[in-house]
Amino acid sequence: MADKVKVEKAATKKLGIAGVLSLAWMTFVSLVAFLAPWLPFDDYATSHLEALKVGPFIAPGFPLGGDQRGVDMVDKLVWGIRNSMMVALGAIALGFLLGGTAGLIAGYFKGKVDTVITGAMSMLLAIPQLVLAIALVAVLASPYIGSDGMNQFPSNGRKMIVLIFALGVVTAPVVGRITRANTLVWSQRDFVLAAKAQGAKNFRIIFREVLPNVAPAMFSIALLGIAVIMVAEAGISFAGAGLPADVPSLGNIIVGGQSLLLLGTPHIVFEPVIVIFLTVTSLNFLGDIVRARFDVREAAV
């Protein structure tokens, strides 16, 4: 009983300063990403002569300066955050749909099903994730021959969908392995065995009994996965396989400003780097908090 009381007290501990700051930053970033079209900011293609290669806090009305085309860095970062978050959320959702489902099935049914699914996930994990993502983007978003016999280039929308698909595919095996491991544990609990004994169907048990208990661990990995995908998107942009240059993302902004890094305008690179750093750090803090709460919940069971 005393141990249970200690566990319950630990579960009610506050987030701490780091947790509060992380939650505040992610709330801010999420609101900016979601509300970007309705916020009072210019389009990311609008140029201002007075902001041309201007550093932060120099030109009135441009607190973060301007880029090499005179675009307000505030506007560019807002749309960059939106596009990067769209890619990250879309990829992690796809990764959870594919990997989470595969992990649940493998961990619950075990046997030959587990062997086949785990083998497939191991094969994907054997390929460097960044290399696999770049290869998928290069193949699926390459120019193609149209009905008129001329080369056709994929639209910006298709490139974003392909990028989301590629990052989702490389995320799926990681999510699948973690989901499988947790499913193996929960599928042996008494309430699951009791549901089997009462004749409940397998998929009902998976989605009604196992999944709700595996979900906290999956959510913790989702937060870390979003952080990893944002960094991966920046890496793919450096390889030239990311979003088009006219569609700003945090990775694209860095790539576009790297040639000017030593020419008096380092803010074009440093500002998106700082945004990525703060976002990744916040997501890691929140992921650790969720995992700690999940461990406390496990101890109380």
pLDDT single digits (tens) 98-157: 999 999 999 989 889 999 999 999 998 888 888 888 888 888 877 666 666 666 667 777
Nearest Cα neighbor of 236 from 166, 144, 172 is: 166
- Residue ranges of the domains in the chain? 2-300
**DSSP characters over 248-263:** --HHHHHHHHGGGTTT
| pTM of the entire predicted model | 0.84
Question: Angle, to 10 degrees, between the axis of helix 156-186 and the axis of helix 129-140?
Answer: 140
For 150, list phi and psi in degrees, rounded to 5.
-100, 155
Nearest Cα neighbor of 241 from 135, 169, 148, 146 is: 135
Residue 270: C-alpha distances to residues 74, 78, 181, 250 (Å): 13, 15, 39, 11
Is the pLDDT at 277 greater than 90? The verdict is yes
Q: What number does CATH give the domain 2-300?
A: 1.10.3720.10
152 versus 228: the higher-pLDDT residue is 228
What six digits make up the tokens of 259?
Answer: 């040639």
Give the pLDDT mean for 273-293.
87
> By CB neighbour count within 10 A (0-12 exposed, 13-18 middle, 19+ buried), where does 228 fall?
buried
